[in-house]
Amino acid sequence: NAGVTQTPKFRVLKTGQSMTLLCAQDMNHEYMYWYRQDPGMGLRLIHYSVGEGTTAKGEVPDGYNVSRLKKQNFLLGLESAAPSQTSVYFCASSYAGNTIYFGEGSWLTVV
Amino acid sequence: SQQGEEDPQALSIQEGENATMNCSYKTSINNLQWYRQNSGRGLVHLILIRSNEREKHSGRLRVTLDTSKKSSSLLITASRAADTASYFCASITGGFKTIFGAGTRLFVKA
């Protein structure tokens, strides 16, 4: 049972480049989330999904896009990376309103 | 602004002492959860308390919830060096949107 798996774990991007972070969960959870965590701060919700084919904006959605084409996968895209998007990104999943299971994080640096 | 705010931001105690962390939130919730994060790792769920509950226990953890004050507290009794971590509260709204606070960094000295 892998839980929540994120790839890649580390990535360095140049300003203006694009990339996609992949998240997969094997717990058949309806809800999936993408958060970012900056030094000394808590997690800020970027986007979330309440089921396959649905997405919704969180607290800090600008500069990011997401897709949930399959129930087990939630993709986070950066179309044109900016230094302000340097952060640690966490994917998570849950049954509605219950315990949230997190991935181990993806460290992204934009230079 | 974030839904949840933890207090204090940092806490340093001796092994064996109790550690208390507080959390405030802004809107009505379905439940409130506490998580722990070790440095460089993902968050791990500790305990969930529903909006109709006032207190909950799990091992050395005790969580209280006061919906009239929109606040919660996490008590860790008889702390150990291994409890050193950041602790976050997460408030879950009726729409199941989950918002985390900025966390309390706990350091337990052996």
Give B52's contacts (C-beta < 8 A, 6+ positions apart).
none
Q: Output the six-digit token pair for A6.
A: 């994120």
Chain A hits for B10, CB-CB cut-off 8 Å, are none
Give the whole-angstrom CA distance, residue B20 versus residue A22.
37
A44 contacts on B by Cβ (under 8 Å): 2, 100
Rounded distance, CA A28 to CA A96, Å? 12
Beta bridge partners of A5: A24
Residue B30, classed as helix, strand or coil, is coil
CB within 8 Å: A45 and B97: yes
Give per-residue pLDDT as tens, A10-59: 999 999 999 999 999 999 999 999 999 998 778 899 999 999 999 999 98
Q: Which of B34, B53, B97, B105 to mutate to test the interface with A (most CBs of A within 10 A)?
A: B97
pLDDT digits (tens, 9 = 90+) for A58-104: 989 999 999 999 999 999 999 999 999 999 999 999 987 788 999 99
- Nearest Cα neighbor of A92 from A39, A41, A30 is A30
